[in-house]
């Protein structure tokens, strides 16, 4: 979560942990928790998502901002992130089945009213506990072309993007330093990353 929506972090985190307790997934809360926390914009969230996914410290990223649009664009600016957008559980289900990406952006201000926590829980459930293998398409008769198009999109993103580490090094170092400056983010990355080259670069930036 970025700074403008930090006050809702506890609500979102509680719902995510509730679903994760049933799905067996581990949760890392690496965004902004409260007004006193470090200042992150949705631009920083995109960098965080790309670093954690590229380093294989996490398998999937839930992110968001006021509308969810900024975080969506910031994530998809990186060649290794395929981020969808969900306002309701059906969006989350269709994204996992048709696009089968590795990140999902939510709106934490727009339409975030009565029973918002139930809506968020439903979104998490559709991603984490849908009961079927991801990327199977919907409806089933459209499965093959949908799977083909999702693979083509991933190939296009890889083709137009630089080598990930080289791309990361070309970003303003202060943006990367701020994005990776949080203690919880560093703990998640350093304890779980499988790509030492990315870890080494982030340590260099932070030091």
User: What confidence tens digit (pLDDT) does each residue in 155-196 have?
Assistant: 888 888 878 999 999 999 999 999 999 999 999 999 999 999
Judge whether residue 132 has pLDDT over 70: no
Lowest mean pLDDT among 25-34, 66-75, 135-144: 135-144
Q: CATH code at 184?
A: 3.40.1400.10
User: Collapsing DSSP states into helix, strand and coil, what is residue 80?
Assistant: coil
> Do the domain assignments include residue 94?
yes
pLDDT of residue 89: 96
Judge whether residue 110 has pLDDT over 70: yes
Question: Per the structure block, which two tokens stand in for 79?
Answer: 């060649």
> Do the domain assignments include residue 51?
yes
pLDDT of residue 133: 78
Interatomic CA distance for residues 47 and 12, integer angstroms: 21
Q: For the residues 100-118, what does the mean pLDDT come to?
A: 94
For 16-34, the pLDDT digits (tens) are 999 999 999 999 999 898 7
Interatomic CA distance for residues 25 and 106, integer angstroms: 19
The parent domain of residue 139 ranges over: 3-201
pLDDT of residue 184: 94
Judge whether residue 139 has pLDDT over 70: yes
pLDDT of residue 105: 98
Judge whether residue 118 has pLDDT over 80: yes
Structure confidence at residue 130 as a pLDDT band (50, 70, 90): low
Percent of the chain with pLDDT over 70: 98
DSSP letters for 148-201: HHHHHHHHHHHHHSPPHHHHHHHS-HHHHHHHT--HHHHHHHHHH-S-HHHHHH
> Do the domain assignments include residue 206?
no
> Do the domain assignments include residue 207?
no
pLDDT of residue 154: 83
> Do the domain assignments include residue 56?
yes
> Do the domain assignments include residue 41?
yes
Counting the structural domains of the chain, the total is 1
> Do the domain assignments include residue 184?
yes
């Amino acid at each position: 979560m970025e700074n403008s929506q930090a006050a809702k972090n506890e609500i979102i985190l509680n719902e995510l942990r509730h679903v994760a307790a049933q799905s067996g997934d581990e949760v890392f809360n690496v965004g902004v928790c409260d007004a006193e926390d470090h200042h992150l914009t949705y631009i920083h969230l995109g960098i965080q998502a790309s670093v954690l996914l590229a380093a294989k410290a996490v398998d999937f990223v839930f992110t968001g901002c006021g509308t969810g649009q900024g975080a969506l664009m910031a994530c998809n600016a990186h060649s290794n992130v395929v981020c969808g957008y969900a306002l309701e559980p059906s969006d989350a289900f269709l994204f996992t089945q048709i696009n089968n990406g590795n990140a999902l952006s939510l709106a934490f201000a727009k339409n975030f009213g009565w029973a918002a926590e139930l809506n968020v829980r439903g979104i998490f459930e559709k991603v984490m506990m849908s009961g079927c293998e991801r990327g199977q398409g919907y409806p089933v008769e459209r499965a093959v072309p949908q799977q083909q198009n999702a693979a083509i999109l991933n190939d296009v993103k890889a083709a137009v993007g630089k080598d990930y580490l080289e791309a990361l090094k070309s970003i303003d170092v202060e943006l990367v330093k701020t994005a990776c400056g949080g203690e919880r983010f560093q703990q998640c990355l350093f304890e779980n990353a499988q790509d030492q080259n990315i870890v080494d670069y982030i340590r260099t930036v932070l030091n």
